[in-house]
Structure 1
Amino acid sequence: MAKSIATFLMFEGKAEEAMNFYVSLFEGSEVQAIERYGKEGPGAEGSVKKADFLLGGHPLMCIDSPIPHAFKFTPSTSLFVECADEAEFDNTFAKLSEAGQILMPPGNYGFSQKFTWLNDRFGVSWQLTLQ
């Protein structure tokens, strides 16, 4: 049996900024631990070697990769958020969509009262729903 399972996000220099942004959006969220690269590298000194955080109780990890990659995040994997009410939906959508890309604008698509799909400014894909 696995010791643990967490969603893993790889950034190139924006891990801490993204993590702090996400933690600010949801109740029950917190940064649990941050390990940083030192002078010896291989990442930039002070960048995130590994960080653990919770979003609404869901465990995630993130890093700043010291190696540039040709791939980025893809909408085929997303964080799915069931919002408690319309105010939470609208507020979360406004913050996540700022400087991001809206894939499906907020609306009633028949399977939920209100739904949206977007990529945030860091490239991470999110689905928000209001049942």
Structure 2
Amino acid sequence: MMEQKNNLSTFLTFKGNAEEAMNFYVSLFPNEAKIHSLVKFEEGQNGPLGKVLNGTFEIKGHSLMVMDMDPQYPPDFSWAMSLLILCNDEAQFDSLFSSLSNKGSVMMGPEAVPPMRKVAWITDQFGLTWQLVWS
């Protein structure tokens, strides 16, 4: 389990691709993200063997936990909840936009929404929605 910096964390439930998603998300933020732990379901545990029981990581200091749900209860993410990323600069915005929209779908942007220089709303390949902002 990761050391909590605070008592609030985002918990994401996946359809069997939690490890792939966690690795992808961490790869998007060089020097600003890291994986803390990864525990997989073992024989006899109530979950899909070899899939993620829990994985913890952080992005820009924000803690997230992932797990894979039993295939009989597949969850869906909704754009009603999204991860908001305040980008360090335009290069980071453009890189994140390119990576997250690849195999995903763009809901809005990129465009200027004063006073912000660029904003975008994207649902990635795993179904998770992100809001990118460069001020």
Structure 1 42/79 Cα, relative in aligned 2: closer, same or farther at 3 Å? Answer: same
Deviation at 1:77, TM superposition (A): 0.6
Structure 1 77/50 Cα, relative in aligned 2: closer, same or farther at 3 Å? Answer: same
Deviation at 1:67, TM superposition (A): 4.3
| Structure 1 unaligned regions, length at least 5 | none
Q: Report if aligned partners of 1:48, 1:63 keep a CA contact under 8 Å in 2.
A: yes
| Structure 2 unaligned regions, length at least 5 | 1-5
Q: Which moved more, 1:28-37 or 1:41-50?
A: 41-50
108, 112, 118: which one aligns with 2:116: 112
C-alpha root-mean-square deviation of aligned residues, in Å? 1.4
Q: Report if aligned partners of 2:16, 2:71 keep a CA contact under 8 Å in 1.
A: no
15, 18, 21: which one aligns with 2:18: 15
Q: State the secondary structure of the residue aligned to 2:81.
A: coil
Deviations 1:39-71 (A, max 9, x none): 213222211001111111110000000143364
TM-score by length of 2: 0.89
Structure 1 125/5 Cα, relative in aligned 2: closer, same or farther at 3 Å? Answer: same
After superposing on structure 2, the runs of 4+ consecutive aligned residues of structure 1 that deviate more than 3 Å are 67-71
Q: Report if aligned partners of 1:12, 1:68 keep a CA contact under 8 Å in 2.
A: no
Give the counterpart letter for 2:42 in structure 1: G
Q: Report if aligned partners of 1:50, 1:61 keep a CA contact under 8 Å in 2.
A: yes
Deviation at 1:110, TM superposition (A): 2.4
36, 41, 64: which one aligns with 2:40: 36
1:127 is aligned to 2:131: yes
2:55 paired residue number = 51
What CA distance in whole angstroms lies between the structure 2 residues aligned with 1:123 and 1:41? Answer: 27
Deviations 1:66-111 (A, max 9, x none): 1433641111110000111111100010000101011002011224
Deviations 1:1-23 (A, max 9, x none): xx722101000111000000000
